[in-house]
Amino acid sequence: MPSYISEVLPGIKYTVIVTVAAFAIGAGLGVPLALMRRSARRAPRALSASVVNLIRSIPPITWLFVIFYGLPSVRITLSAVPAAIVGLGVIAGAYLSEIYRSGLLAVSKGQWEASRALGFNDRDTLVHVIGPQASRVIGPSAATYAIGLLKDSAVASTIGVTEITFRANSAQTVSGHAIALFVTAGAIYLLLSLPLAVVSRNVDRRLRARYSLV
């Protein structure tokens, strides 16, 4: 077993890099998409909904292939790791935008109206009134998505990112010990996911104690 671990362990670096960077991109991209869905104008709402539905309707592996193999045809070339980060980041943005939107919808409309009555502008209302309450819904859901993204990062192996799954698959083609290597890879994914799950529960507990949705 130690030899199996040594074969797979170097892949952790790229699994973590792809997951963290893609989540960061998605967290930023999800904000304008979510706000567009709440726009009073029909055009931004329709555009945002169309973009989110398009991204979510196409399998992640297809997006990675389009970015890694397709973009060079229009003279845009990305190496494997940046291509994986961009592809998974765009996908994360679509999913996180829906998480943000759900969090905003969970807050009573009366909160918006009360803030306007007190003279708050939209930015201050969102940052100081709505955001903290919506975070009760957004935080745990976003953490759950991050755990899913960590596991989904395995798809990056299809374009040559030497992450955990890629390392396990490469090793088993040489040794033939597929079961042991992929069980080892699965155990590593589990160990990486557990801290996120613990953090998610702790954050959820603190937010529930501090904020209430009314």
**What is residue 213's predicted lDDT score, i.e. its pLDDT?**
52
Q: Which is more confidently placed, 148 or 2?
A: 148
Q: Which two tokens stand for residue 133?
A: 């309450």
pLDDT, residue 3, reads 67
How far apart, in whole angstroms, are the C-alpha atoms of residue 183 and residue 179?
6
Tell me the C-alpha distance between 156 and 164, whole Å.
10
Average pLDDT on 163-170 reads 92
Query: Which stretch of 18-22, 52-56, 128-132 has the lowest confidence by average pLDDT?
Result: 128-132
- pLDDT of 160 > 80? The answer is yes
Nearest to 92 by CA among 38, 148, 133: 148
Q: Residue 205 corresponds to which tokens in the numbers above?
A: 């507990």
Q: What does the pLDDT average to over 71-79?
A: 93
Is residue 198 over pLDDT 90? no
